[in-house]
Amino acid sequence: MRATLDTSLDRATNLAKAKRTLKWQRDPEGMRLRILEAAKQEFAAHGLAGARVDRIAAKAGANKRMLYYHVGKKDDLYLAVLEGAYEKIRVEERGLDLEHLDPPEAIERLIDFTWNYFIRNPEFLALLNTENLARARHLKRSTKVKSMHSPFVEMIRTVVRRGVEKGDFPVAVDPVQLYISIAALCFFYLSNSATLSVIFGRDLLKKEAKDERLDHMVALVLAALTGKSAVAFGRKTPKLPAPAHTSVG
């Protein structure tokens, strides 16, 4: 009886493996995408050193053999995730239609998009933190990342040039510096919100606080580009908390 039971279990196990293999062979691209998505979540949660290939494979419904076949070893998988993360944001940025907006409006849309993209994709910020700690060691191996950024920089350059030609911006600014400034204003606030909330006694991730931050960033950048006061852009000035009074005596 025990031998019969063991044989039945073996058959069921082999049948399940055969079904997974058949599914993998029928939809190799789907399997690759599932592996990359599972890997993105794993690397974002645990970093490169703490990530485990076994967990990635299990979450993707794969095994190590499938994972290595579709993507490669752990470092290759991590680089593929990084490249995919950059490609995703660059693709969405190209859909902003900045070329057909008035330059100040185009810059505002870019800031709004960057801010909300970072909020919607916290794993992207986590991956950037991990790779910066590694001094971009893996990103330097990429043959794709630099090429996908050139059109994006040119898109911002075109907006700035149109702004100068129309008289919206007094001078042209370096598009790379401009984007780094925009990204930094968003990134620092979100990646350091826990410590900043404690230091300043505010919940910086409340909806009202995030809305106020977006207004502040738009006004700050447009004031710098146009040479006008932030008041000119209709931004709300937040009420400052009353200073604490100390009694003497």
Nearby residues of 146 by Cβ (< 8 Å), 6 or more positions away:
none
- Place 242 in a pLDDT band, splitting at 50, 70 and 90: very low
- Rounded Cα distance between 52 and 27, Å, is 24
| The predicted structure's pLDDT at residue 18 | 45
Residue 236 has pLDDT above 60, yes or no: no
| The predicted structure's pLDDT at residue 245 | 42
Q: Name the H helices within the chain.
A: 2-26, 28-50, 53-60, 64-70, 74-94, 103-120, 122-133, 145-166, 175-191, 193-200, 207-226
* Cβ atoms of residues 87 and 97 within 8 Å: no
| The predicted structure's pLDDT at residue 63 | 87
Residue 35 has pLDDT above 90, yes or no: yes
- 153-159 contacts: CB < 8 A, separation 24 or more? 153/179, 155/93, 155/94, 155/98, 155/99, 156/98, 156/110, 158/98, 158/99, 159/98, 159/99, 159/103, 159/106, 159/107, 159/110
Nearby residues of 110 by Cβ (< 8 Å), 6 or more positions away:
93, 96, 98, 156, 159, 179, 182
pTM of the model: 0.82
- Rounded Cα distance between 188 and 196, Å, is 10
pLDDT tens figures, 148-164: 889 999 999 999 999 99
- Place 1 in a pLDDT band, splitting at 50, 70 and 90: low
| The predicted structure's pLDDT at residue 3 | 54
Residue 139 has pLDDT above 80, yes or no: yes
- Rounded Cα distance between 172 and 169, Å, is 7
- Rounded Cα distance between 30 and 229, Å, is 51
Residue 244 has pLDDT above 70, yes or no: no
Instruction: Tell me the HSE value of 45 on the side-chain side, using a 13 A CA sphere.
Output: 10
Average pLDDT over residues 160-169: 97
pLDDT tens figures, 176-235: 999 999 999 999 999 999 999 999 999 999 999 999 999 999 999 999 999 998 877 755
Residue 68 has pLDDT above 90, yes or no: no
Residue 19 has pLDDT above 80, yes or no: no
Residue 4 has pLDDT above 70, yes or no: no
| The predicted structure's pLDDT at residue 231 | 79
| The predicted structure's pLDDT at residue 107 | 98
pLDDT tens figures, 72-116: 899 999 999 999 999 999 999 999 999 899 999 999 999 999 999
